[in-house]
Amino acid sequence: MQVLSDRGPTVFGVTLAFISAATGFVVLRMISKWGITRKVNADDFAIIIGWVFAVGLSVCIMIGTQVGLGAPDAEIKPEWKPRLQRCIYAFTVLYSPAIMATKTSILILYYRMGAAHPFLRYASLSTMAVVNIAGVVLTFLCIFQCRPVTAAFSPAVEGTCIDIITLYLSSTPINILTDVAILVLPLPILTSLRMEFRQKVILVFTFVIGGFVTVVGVVRIVYLQDALKEELLVAVPASTGTASPPNFTYYASFSLMWSVVEVSTRTTVQTDMSQGPTQTFFDFVQVKSRTPLTQLTAREAWWPIVIVSTLDFLWGFANGLVGGLSAQIQTLLGSSPSHTIALNNIFYCAYFVGPLLVGYWVLNLAGFKATFITGLAIYAVGALAFWPSSVLLSYAGFVVSNFMLALGLSCLELAANLFIILAGPSELSEARFNFAQGFFGVGIIVSPIVAEKALFSSINQEDLFRVQWCYLAVGLFAVLLALIFYYCPLSEASDDEIEEIAEVRLYNAGLTQSSKAFSLGARRLLLWSGALVLFFSQGTEAVNYSWTPIVQYVKPGSNSFWDLIIARCVLTFGRFLAAWLCFVGIPPRVILCLSLLGAFLTSLLAFVIPPGSAALMLLILYLLFQAPIYPTLFAMIMRGQGRHTKFAATIAVMSIPGGAVWPSVVYGIQLRYPTTPLWPLLLVAILHGISMTWPVVVSTNWVLRRWVDPKWSKTAATQSDDQEDSSRSGHQSGFAPQPNAVPELLTRGTARHRDGVDGSEYTEAQA
- C-alpha torsion sign, points 757, 761, 762, 763: positive
The b-or-e profile of 103-142 (16+ CB within 10 A means b, else e) is: bbbbbbbbbbbbeebeebbebbeebbeebeebbeebbebb
523 vs 276, higher pLDDT: 523
- Residue 648 domain flag: yes
Q: Is residue 265 part of a domain?
A: yes
| Residues 256 and 383 both lie in one domain | no
**Count of CB atoms within 10 A of residue 539's CB?**
26
pLDDT value for 433: 93
Residue 587: what pLDDT? 93
For all residues of the chain together, what is the average pLDDT?
A: 78
Rounded Cα distance between 317 and 442, Å, is 8
Q: Is 259 left (phi over 0), alpha (psi -120 to 50) or beta?
A: alpha
555 shares a domain with 409: no
Reduced to 3 states, what is the DSSP secondary structure of residue 160? strand
Tally the domains of the chain. Answer: 3
Say if 744 falls within a structural domain. Answer: no
The whole domain housing 18 covers 8-278
Whether residues 271 and 330 fall in one domain: no
When pLDDT is averaged across residues 33-53 and rounded to a whole number, the result is 83
- Give the CATH number, domain containing residue 551: 1.20.1250.20
- Ranking 411-415, 486-490, 749-753 by mean pLDDT, the lowest is 749-753
For residue range 558-592, list pLDDT tens digits in order: 888 888 889 999 999 999 999 999 999 899 999 99
Task: Find the mean pLDDT for residues 353-381.
Answer: 89
Q: Give the helix ranges, DSSP H, for 584-657.
A: 588-608, 613-626, 629-638, 645-653
Let me know whether 195 and 325 are in one domain: no
Give CA 701 to chain center in angstroms. 40
Which of 277-281, 325-329, 331-335 has the lowest average pLDDT? 277-281
Q: Alpha-carbon distance 541 to 547, whole Å?
A: 9
Assess if residue 287 is contained within a domain. no
pLDDT of residue 315: 74
Answer yes or no: are the C-beta atoms of 29 and 44 closer than 8 Å.
yes
pLDDT at 727 > cutoff 50: no
Is the whole model's pTM more than 0.95, yes or no?
no
**Where among 472, 493, 514 does a domain terminate?**
493
* Rounded CA separation 611/594 (Å): 26
Last residue of a domain, one of 443, 478, 493: 493
Question: ∠ CA(63), CA(67), CA(73), 5° rounding?
Answer: 140
Q: How many angstroms separate the CA atoms of 99 and 92, rounded?
A: 12
Q: Which residue has the higher pLDDT, 320 or 614?
A: 614
* pLDDT value of residue 118: 81
Higher pLDDT among residues 244 and 115, named by residue? 115
pLDDT score recorded for residue 718: 52
Range from 235-239, 360-364, 489-493, 629-633 carrying the lowest mean pLDDT: 235-239
* Residue 754 included in any domain: no
C-alpha distances in Å from residue 458, one per residue of 31, 328, 431, 472: 58, 9, 42, 21
Q: Is residue 521 predicted with pLDDT exceeding 70? A: yes
Average confidence (pLDDT) over 24-38: 79
Lowest mean per-residue pLDDT among 245-249, 431-435, 649-653: 245-249
Across 394-408, 520-534, 633-647, least confident range: 394-408
Of residues 246 and 312, which shows the higher confidence score? 312
Looking at the structure, do residues 134 and 253 belong to the same domain, yes or no?
A: yes
Whether 291 is covered by a domain: the verdict is: no
Do 121 and 180 fall within a single domain? yes
Say yes or no: 534 and 427 in one domain. Answer: no
Q: Average pLDDT of 337-346?
A: 82
Q: What's 172's domain CATH number? A: 1.20.1070
Residue 49 placed within a domain: yes
> According to the model, what pLDDT value does residue 746 have?
44
Per-residue model confidence (pLDDT) at position 744: 46
Cα 54 to the center of its chain, rounded Å: 35
Contact 422/493 with Cβ under 8 angstroms? yes
Among 245, 278, 311, give the residue marking a domain's end. 278
Considering the domain architecture, whether residues 377 and 361 belong to the same structural domain is answered as yes
Kindly state whether residues 581 and 730 are assigned to the same domain: yes
Average pLDDT (67-89) is 84
Q: Are 110 and 186 in contact, with CB atoms under 8 Å apart? A: yes
**Domain-located, residue 649:** yes
pLDDT in tens, 432-468: 999 999 988 888 888 877 766 655 555 555 556 666 6
What is the percentage of the chain residues whose pLDDT exceeds 70?
77
**C-beta of residue 265 within 8 angstroms of C-beta of residue 23:** no
Q: How much is the pLDDT for 740? A: 41
pLDDT digit string, tens, across residues 252-292: 787 788 788 888 877 877 665 555 433 333 333 333 446 78
Confidence (pLDDT) at 290: 64
pLDDT of residue 183 exceeding 70? yes
**309 and 234 in one domain?**
no
Greatest mean pLDDT among 1-5, 85-89, 257-261, 381-385 lies in 85-89
**Per-residue pLDDT reduced to its tens digit, 156-167:** 777 788 777 777
Q: Are residues 147 and 102 in the same domain?
A: yes
- Residues 210, 112, single domain; the answer is yes
* pLDDT number for residue 294: 81
Give yes or no for residue 764 having a pLDDT over 50.
Answer: no
| pLDDT for residue 601 | 95
